[in-house]
Amino acid sequence: MIKLTSREKQVLTELIKNCKTSDQEIARKLKTSRPTILKIRKRLEEKGIIKGYTSLIDFEKMGFNIQAVILYRWKDYSKSEELKSTIKFITSLPEVILFVKGEGIGNKTDLIISIHEDLKDYEKFIRKLKYQWKDNVENVDVFLSSIDGIFKNYEFSSPAISKINETIIYSK
């Protein structure tokens, strides 16, 4: 577990709340200097705690109307080259907003969340996947929803802030 100082924890909490918060604004909130905040931010990045900064997108305003959640099972892990190629292919697709390998419902090993303009766009996407998968995939389940059917976006702020406040070890 990485040790954080009290000040690092405070800066990290502010960045989780809003990654666009300026160093000057964080310094004002924490009653310290902007150069101090800049040093702390850089240290958090160097430690690998902050991997990057991201934006929340209103997909509907961008013309995306369908979200697909796709679960499937990779059949044979001895086909490692096919697996590597498939992972590279899936992660390169612009429609994919999340790809996870793991274990889950019905022995599924992979999860894809993708967004699409319309049903025709989704059908084209799924055909590309099926062509890439060949016979290496089984037990595919898909859940489609309209973008306006999303009632809570995927976010880390609440659990991450709770985790920081509860369990991170402080250095002296």
Q: Which helix (H) or strand (E) holds 56?
A: none
Domains of the chain: 6-55+155-167 (1.10.10), 60-149 (3.30.70.920)
pLDDT in the model for residue 160: 60
Which whole-number Å values give the CA distances from 152 to 64, 93, 149, in the listed order? 17, 24, 9
The model's pTM is 0.74
- Comparing CA positions, the residue from 83, 97, 88 lying closest to residue 136 is 83
pLDDT in the model for residue 162: 65
Is 50 exceeded by the pLDDT of residue 171?
no
The pLDDT tens digits for 39-73 are 999 999 999 999 988 877 888 888 999 999 999 99
